[in-house]
Amino acid sequence: MFERHALNLNGIIFVVAITVAPDLEVVSRFIFIGATIALIMVFRGLHDRVTRLRIFFREDYADKKAVIDLPRLYATLLGAGIVGALTTIYAWLNSGGLQALLALLLTRSAE
């Protein structure tokens, strides 16, 4: 399922990001869309790397149905983590986290 539908998930993530972006302020909106595009590119690169064509010679091939394919499992979990990261970034930006961070940096630089 990851190999077939992962890139469709990127499109859905981007559409959802554009849909919820108007709830944010202008600067937060650009940060959120930028983070979304960056995470989509990471996910795309990871997908290309994991689903690369591999050729096994007959003598090297063994039918290992019980063994978990760790790179694909890792990539799938990382893809799910990217979706979770976007929701966390949205919640942080929506709750005024960017303004709090900028205020903190401003008070630190004034000292």
pLDDT above 80: residue 99:
yes
* Rounded Cα–Cα distance for residues 74 and 79 (Å): 9
DSSP single-letter state for residue 24 = S
Mean pLDDT calculated for residue range 93-101: 84
Confidence at residue 56, expressed as pLDDT on a 0 to 100 scale: 57
Instruction: Cite the DSSP H helix spans in the chain.
Output: 2-20, 26-50, 70-94, 97-110
* Spans of all domains in the chain: 2-53+67-110
Cα 52 to Cα 39: distance, rounded to the nearest angstrom: 20
Instruction: Look at residue 60 and tell me whether its pLDDT is greater than 60.
Output: no
Question: Taking Cα atoms as reference points, which of 25, 3, 14, 30 lies closest to residue 83?
Answer: 14
pTM of the shown model: 0.61
